[in-house]
A and B are shown apart, each in its own frame.
Chain A
Amino acid sequence: MSIRTTAIQYRREILSLFVSPIAYVVGFCFLVVAGWAFYVSVHILNHEASQWTVTEFFFNGFPIWFAQVVVMPVLTMRIFAEEYAQGTFEGLMTAPVRDWEVVLAKYFAVLTLYAAIWLPTLLFLPTFRLVSLSNVPLAAGPTWCSYLMVLLMGLLFASFGLLASALTRNQIIAAILSFSMTVLFFFAGLFIFLDIPGPFREVLYHISVFDHMEKFSRGLVTTKVPVFYLSLTALMLFATKCVLESRRWRT
């Protein structure tokens, strides 16, 4: 694998993303939703006593759902599908590039955009402190842990999207595929509220995204959670690479 070739492709992806309106539209919409959710979090805390901090309210609320379930499939759907449909994939794969380089360059480009849309939310808590002129207890630890979880989820759900996009030349199909995969995984944790017996319930409990976020936003970090997300991500990326390779043996 050559880092140089990967970097060249990464730059091209970033250039394409940021000269097209997609990045700005998605970024803007996400900020509206996140800002509104933050406002609601503060509003609720203003009106009733709660055991939750504003950080917990914000990170366990709507923005996370929106970012993973809605925004991620939209960001990733075009990644391969558009190249297939435009015929640029043929140009790309007949250049001296390796399949892994293509997968990783695209993956990092998506992650960059994902990080970029979250970046402005770093201002939310400092602004809140500034405006409220209060010494609300805003612990730095849980905040950074929450962002770590945001990153881990981004890593995983971006890899879902990448795989879905590699499977089809139709962007709508890619979006629906990654949307379904994400929803299944994301909401699997809710099944623990059903009356499911034994070990299956245990499994659901361990993969519950809600539970992970809740713990991290409280500052409770365990290594098994990052290991779980990273290994699943690696598996998805490997699957994506296999899909690209499959054109060699598919008839």
Chain B
Amino acid sequence: MIVAEDLVKRFAGVHALRGISFHVRKGEIVGFLGPNGAGKTTTMRILAGYMPPTSGRVRIAGFDVFSHSLDVRRRIGYMPEVVPLYPELRVREFLAYRAQLKGVRGTAVRQRVSEVCELCGLEDVAGKIIGTLSKGFRQRVGLADSMVHDPELLILDEPTIGLDPNQIRQVRELIRSLGRRHTILLSTHILPEVEMTCSRVLIINKGRIEASDSPENLTRKLHNGGAVRAVVRAPAEELSAALKTLAQIEEVTIRDEAGWSVAEIFSKRGEDLREAVHAAIAAKGWPLRELTRHRATLEDVFVELTHEDRT
């Protein structure tokens, strides 16, 4: 659905994008993840045909985004970070205008407007003036706008920004249900959101793509993916020495917590160390209070890939 090849964007000497290539297949929900200023919005604006890249090419549904801009724009629903709404219009008026502008004709306009209103939970505010709506409703009007012409591809820039936890959950549900019929590319920096909704994640940092994989695979590959935590009543040095005899262990750190030693044990290849650790401790006869395997989250992946002073 999207094929981006080597996108570069320079703004007055600053490199916003330094050669980004990726593709999105039909029916995927892809999360675009990165710290602020990484280039997410720039990439999405290029995809939506708002501005061209300095170099590189993008094809959406087989059409070049710049030479066949109108064909592309008809097929995408784009929701910018700042939701573009006319505050003086009523919700229904605004959506009808946008539907017509994007090529919906005749009686289908009214039908599409009421469909998206229902989908986005806007029925009760459809007659209200947009300027009087709360942030959450405005966000949903923006979402309704992006899908009012039933596009093949939805590009959503931070769709849940500024929403409260309940609204975030609703929007997440909505996006997941939309994923059955549409291809979706969404950007966010809320990680649980990506883990819950997306089939694939693109992590972008400083204008480059750092990783592209499913959330599960990304967390599995992580450096401290198989870290184990053990709480043992034993002298720190002896415990450390005992654990270091295990072949699979890369690093052990131990700190004292009210008479108990808390050991963080990192494996070399993300293997599960719990059995081996237990055996080593049991052999010494030390009391063991806790033994847990740390489950890496996308947050860890994100921090590891994008943190400034990573080693």
Interface residues in chain A, defined as those with a beta carbon under 8 Å from any beta carbon in chain B: 5, 8-9, 11-12, 15-16, 19-20, 86-98, 247-249, 251
The segment from B70-78, B220-228, B237-245 found at the interface with A is: B70-78
Q: Known A-B contacts: A12-B101, A94-B49. Give 11 more (CB < 8 A).
A: A8-B100, A16-B86, A19-B89, A87-B82, A88-B85, A90-B45, A91-B78, A91-B80, A94-B73, A247-B51, A248-B51
- Contact A12–B97 (Cβ < 8 Å): yes
Answer yes or no: B174 CB below 8 A from chain A CBs.
no
Looking at the assembled complex, report how far the CB atom of A106 sits from the nearest CB atom of chain B, in whole angstroms.
13
User: With contacts A90-B45, A91-B145 known, is A251 near B73, CB below 8 A?
Assistant: no
- Contact A97–B48 (Cβ < 8 Å): no
Closest residue of chain A to B80, judged by CB?
A90
Looking at the assembled complex, report how far the CB atom of B7 sits from the nearest CB atom of chain A, in whole angstroms.
15
Closest residue of chain B to A12, judged by CB?
B97
User: With contacts A8-B101, A16-B88 known, is A93 near B50, CB below 8 A?
Assistant: yes
Query: Which residues in B have their C-beta under 8 angstroms from that of A15?
Result: 89, 93, 97
Answer yes or no: B283 CB below 8 A from chain A CBs.
no
CA distance A250 to B45 in the complex (A): 14
- Contact A90–B84 (Cβ < 8 Å): yes
- Contact B70–A96 (Cβ < 8 Å): yes
- Contact B50–A94 (Cβ < 8 Å): yes
CA distance A93 to B54 in the complex (A): 19
Query: Which residues in A have their C-beta under 8 angstroms from that of B70?
Result: 96, 98
Closest residue of chain A to B129, judged by CB?
A19
Answer yes or no: B102 CB below 8 A from chain A CBs.
yes
Answer yes or no: B59 CB below 8 A from chain A CBs.
no
**When the two chains form the complex, which single residue of B11, B52, B86, B101 contacts A5, counting CB atoms closer than 8 Å?**
B101
CA distance A33 to B102 in the complex (A): 42
Q: Which of B10, B11, B50 has the most CB of A within 10 A?
A: B50
Query: Which residues in A have their C-beta under 8 angstroms from that of B192?
Result: none
Looking at the assembled complex, report how far the CB atom of A141 sits from the nearest CB atom of chain B, in whole angstroms.
42
- Contact B101–A251 (Cβ < 8 Å): no
Closest residue of chain B to A250, judged by CB?
B51
Interface residues in chain B, defined as those with a beta carbon under 8 Å from any beta carbon in chain A: 10-12, 45, 48-52, 54, 70, 73-74, 76, 78, 80, 82-89, 93, 97-98, 100-103, 145
Report the tally of A-B residue pairs with Cβ distances under 8 A. 74
Looking at the assembled complex, report how far the CB atom of B148 sits from the nearest CB atom of chain A, in whole angstroms.
10
Query: Which residues in B have their C-beta under 8 angstroms from that of A16?
Result: 86, 88-89
- Contact A97–B85 (Cβ < 8 Å): no
CA distance A15 to B49 in the complex (A): 27
Query: Which residues in B have their C-beta under 8 angstroms from that of A91?
Result: 78, 80, 84-85, 98, 145
- Contact A248–B52 (Cβ < 8 Å): yes
Q: Can you report 22 residue pairs joining A to B where beta carbons are below 8 Å apart?
A: A9-B101, A11-B97, A12-B86, A15-B93, A19-B89, A20-B88, A86-B86, A87-B82, A87-B84, A90-B50, A90-B82, A91-B80, A92-B84, A94-B73, A95-B73, A95-B98, A96-B73, A96-B74, A96-B102, A248-B52, A249-B52, A251-B10
Closest 4 CB pairs of A and B: A91-B84, A87-B82, A88-B84, A96-B73
**When the two chains form the complex, which single residue of B85, B88, B101 contacts A95, counting CB atoms closer than 8 Å?**
B101
CA distance A89 to B100 in the complex (A): 17
Looking at the assembled complex, report how far the CB atom of B227 sits from the nearest CB atom of chain A, in whole angstroms.
44
